[in-house]
Every structure is written in C-alpha cells, then in structure tokens.
Homo-oligomer: A and B are copies of this chain.
C-alpha cells in the first residue's frame, strides 16, 4: 500500500469519484485556479494544492472557479445538488462560514425536512479548519460545534490520510449534505492508503488504542495529540482507550458510552473554545447516559474562551497539547 499525504488522499478521493460519477463536480475559489489569467489555467488546484491536477483532467465544467462569493458558491452547490448533481463545494477556510451560513443551515440542511422528505441534497462542503499555522484569528478556527448542532447536516473530521480518503468517498456518495472539515495542520501527514476506492461509514468511531484506565475521545487534529498523550501515559503503565469518532454528526455514542462503561473515566479533547463545544457535548452525553459508570469528574481539554492569537507562543499555548491531555487523564485517576 502506498504511503501518501492527507492532502493527496483527499485529492485521490475526489479524482476517483469524479471518474466514477459524471455528476460529481467541484466548485469554489481557485479550486482550479488561474481562470481568466494570462498563464496556466488550473495550475493551482486550491490554495493548499488539494485539488491540484483535477482541472487539467476534468476541465472547467467540472472544476469550476468561482468569484469570492461564498453564499453564491454554497447556494449554487445546494441548488445543483437538489436538482441532481453531486457538487463538492469548497469553502476555503471554515472561518468563512459567517458569510454563507444561511445557505448551509437554513437552506441545504433543512430542504429535506421542510419539504416533507421530498428533497435530496447530496452536497459536500469541503473546508479546512484548525489553529497552529500562525494564520491569525480569522483563519484558524475550527467551528465544528456550529456545524454539529445543525439538524440535517452531517459533519466529518478526518484525522489521518486513510480516513480522509474513505470518509470523503462516503461523503460524496451520501445523499445528505455533509461538511467535510479537513485539518490544515494534517495536510502533510502521511499514512498508508489503498489505491482503490473505499468507503468508511459515518457514525462509526475508530478505536485507535485499547486500555482500561481511562477513555480519551478526540477529534480531527487532536487525535495525534491524544495518541502522544497515550504514549506518555503508557510509560507509567497507564493504559487508555483512544477513540476517534471520525464524524461528529452522526456521533457514535455507543462507542463512547461502552468505553466509559469499562474505564469509568473520560477525557474529551476538542480544539475549540469551551462553551457549547463538542467537548461539552460528549461530556454531557456521558454525564446523562453513562453516569453510573463514571468514577471521576469528566475531563475536558479545550482552547480557552478567546479568539485564536497570532503570536506563535500564544497560539501554541492556546491549543490542547499532549501535555495538557496527559494531565487531564491523570487528574481523573
């Protein structure tokens, strides 16, 4: 099996699905890149190079450069989806949902329910989130809690190349609107990824490690950090279970509850400010449905209730780290 990057895994999923199904189209700002310019059109392939090579292969009708008009991008993708296409719209940074959220949560996500089950909106919104790139307060957020709370939407947070490919293929084949939240901190992460297409189902957590002393639940870019913490703890003989739910909506509640039933201790790691976070969401799930198994206060490792700071030392301090996760686990013991 080839070792490829998370970036490449996403690219491969898009490529294979576009080949398989002519109704899959990409649209977004510079997903091709260079439209209207005097040079090489399609040379860019997204600001992070994720869609590179697809414009040359599939052309301007299937890899559509758009103006900087996110409401029109997402809205048009929703409109194309509900009339039979399978658009993959790129929202360059998830930080930009503020200019197009209506089309996501009041339109695409609600069509089916509002219309009594008669609409089908196979829309994927690819976007990227997360801090650590020194990109400042408006380009470093994750915002998955805002997305997770929206009924009608599915939300995916892949934490490694293998999952990125399989979950994206699943997302494209899914008949509901899906937000596929890539982690910009993970684009260069490498891992083994099968060449052929495969699907990873939604709502099925990945158990990365088994251990009876405590359960760590982590999402997206926090998963590798949780694993680091698990390694450190293992050196002291503390064995933890590490769960990556992979999709935040649907959430594999059973996996989490079952694990806490065994370990009695829970730490949730969430790269977002604490209020109404996914950390709170999972903590509340356990406090309401696995309370009797709980032996210690639930631990939550989140960012502080502040915007993301620019200065590297502040940004590092802002994020959940392996150290903080380790300390939180120790506190539950």
Which residues of A come within 8 Å of B, CB atoms? 71, 95-106, 109-110, 113-114, 136-138, 145-146, 148-152, 249, 251, 272-273, 275-281, 283-289, 291-292, 294, 296-300, 304-307, 309
Contact = CB atoms under 8 A, between A and B. Distances in A.
B151 A149 contact: no
A72 B19 CA distance: 42
A285 B100 CA distance: 31
A298 B307 contact: no
A99 B75 CA distance: 12
Task: With a 10 A CB-CB cut-off, give which of A145, A276, A278, A280 has the most chain B CB atoms.
Answer: A276
B281 A276 contact: yes
Copies in the complex: 2
B106 A273 contact: no
Nearest to A266: B287
Contacts of A97: 101
Nearest to A103: B98
Contact of A148 (B98, B99, B113, B275): B275
A189 to B, nearest CB: 26
A148 B277 CA distance: 10
Nearest to A109: B307
